[in-house]
Amino acid sequence: MARLFGTDGVRGLANDELTPELALSLAASAARVLVAHDSSHRPVAVVGRDPRASGEMLEAAVVAGLASAGADVRRVGVMPTPAVAYLVGALNADIGVMISASHNPMPDNGIKFFAAGGHKLADDLEDEIEAGLTAPDTRPIGAAVGRVSDVEDALDRYIQHLLVATPHTLEGIKVVVDCANGASATAAPEVYRAAGAEVIAINASPDGLNINAACGSNHPEQLFKAVVEHGADLGIAHDGDADRCVAVDAAGELIDGDQIMAVLALALAESGELTNDTLVATVMSNLGLHLAMKAHGITVVTTAVGDRYVLEELRASGFALGGEQSGHVVLPEYATTGDGLLTALRLMARMASTGKSLADLAGVMHRLPQVLVNVKVADKAAVADSSAVRDAVGAVEAELGDEGRVLLRPSGTEQLVRVMVEAPAQDTAQAAADRLAGVVSAVS
């Protein structure tokens, strides 16, 4: 039986794969498991969601599940994922639950759990929660049943936290922010203005159905045009739950998570805050990031794909910066998870403090042509076990030598195998990726 938890919580088609019944059971099991590890007091849970329509239904189920297990619930409403993580710590809660499918399309939804302090759960705790779905339970009754209340100042708390973490006023910065009609629609424009920037917000009118719809960090085409039309210094695009961001320079060119990390790494190294002059990135990061960091005396430690693995390395080794090419960037001094708003604030603060354009700052890294092909498969395991796939990968690697690389990995949330090829030329990378994608498709 496949593991219920993926790389970032439990996701699926809302009301089909991810039902209210499952949400209720997951929440109740999570409360029991996390409280079992610290049963010294009555547990408190923070619950937030993104604005997709199914979140209303799933929030009700999650709240009921937590309260049925004896947890007092603090609802924070529509809020970015990193805000929920922050509020778990700020409110001294034992559990955090975020209902979101992040960058996935509107019909999907997901449930992410945070432990005390706002940290993502380790695999063994997720396994305990999953096992608890079928375990017998004794429910509290009477006064022991959990109570539910709303945190009216949740957004204000989060915004003040972000402003404290921003090292320089953003006066003089004009930014277009694409909120993906998601959880950042209120928070992002408000905090960027509070930090001193002139803000034009687009896709900031969520109606429950338009989240991530041809907008946001996965679809920044609108942002490219808006930045140029408004004569802005940059653009920022968030995903549906705002735990990531990508940027656009004044000419409308994409600045991805690797380039953002390069800019922030140099800023932290300059201020003496980059622990051991080390950056943590995943195996998906562009070879150009490694080359740029090496040129500046910065070591890059790589992890498996997924911000949770970046987080584990940051916590285990005490490093100060890590992230993913997709725009999940983690600054552990200020956040326990990827925070797209914090990332954008720090990026704009670097522009403001140096007086340099985003294009100039990002120019420290030359991004090698990289092609990513998502191949729909029936069985991800069959692809991993295929000698034909291994032989094809070996052949391409031999052709590229030291000037490129190949990476195949299964999606953690979908029936996909991602084929990534980097090469000195775009057409070389595309041809190799298409060739490998054909082999993957044929064996699945």
Q: Mind listing the pLDDT tens digit for each residue in 145-195?
A: 999 999 999 999 999 999 999 999 999 999 999 999 999 999 999 999 999
Residue 413 has a pLDDT of 65
Residue 170 and residue 108 share a domain: no
Domain end: 316, 331, 362, which one?
362
Q: Helices 154-164 and 340-354: crossing angle, nearest 10°?
A: 40
102 is in an annotated binding site: yes
The number of distinct structural domains making up the chain is 3
Instruction: Provide the pLDDT confidence category of residue 38 given band limits of 50, 70 and 90.
Output: low
Is 4 inside any structural domain? no
Residue 206 and residue 102 share a domain: no
Is 3 inside any structural domain? no
Residue 333 and residue 233 share a domain: yes
258 is in an annotated binding site: no
Model confidence over 240-292: pLDDT tens digits? 999 999 999 999 999 999 999 999 999 999 999 999 999 999 998 999 999 89
Is 427 inside any structural domain? yes
Chain-wide mean pLDDT for the chain? 94
Q: Kindly state the percentage of the chain with pLDDT values over 90.
A: 85
178 is in an annotated binding site: no
Phi first, then psi: give them for residue 280, nearest 5 degrees: -105, 125
Contact status, residue 100 vs residue 90, Cβ threshold 8 Å: no
- Say yes or no to pLDDT of 1 above 80: no
Model confidence over 282-317: pLDDT tens digits? 998 999 999 899 999 999 999 988 888 999 999 999
What is the rounded distance in angstroms from the CA atom of residue 302 to the CA atom of residue 290?
10
Residue 299 and residue 376 share a domain: no
DSSP 107: T
Mean pLDDT lowest for which of 14-18, 128-132, 173-177, 361-365? Answer: 128-132
Residue 443 has a pLDDT of 86
What is the rounded distance in angstroms from the CA atom of residue 140 to the CA atom of residue 172?
56
Residue 209 and residue 173 share a domain: yes
Q: Which residues are catalytic?
A: 102
Residue 426 has a pLDDT of 94
241 is in an annotated binding site: yes
Q: Which CATH number does the domain housing residue 234 bear?
A: 3.40.120.10
Pick from 108, 58, 51, 79: which is nearest to 411 by CA?
A: 108
Instruction: Provide the pLDDT confidence category of residue 39 given band limits of 50, 70 and 90.
Output: low
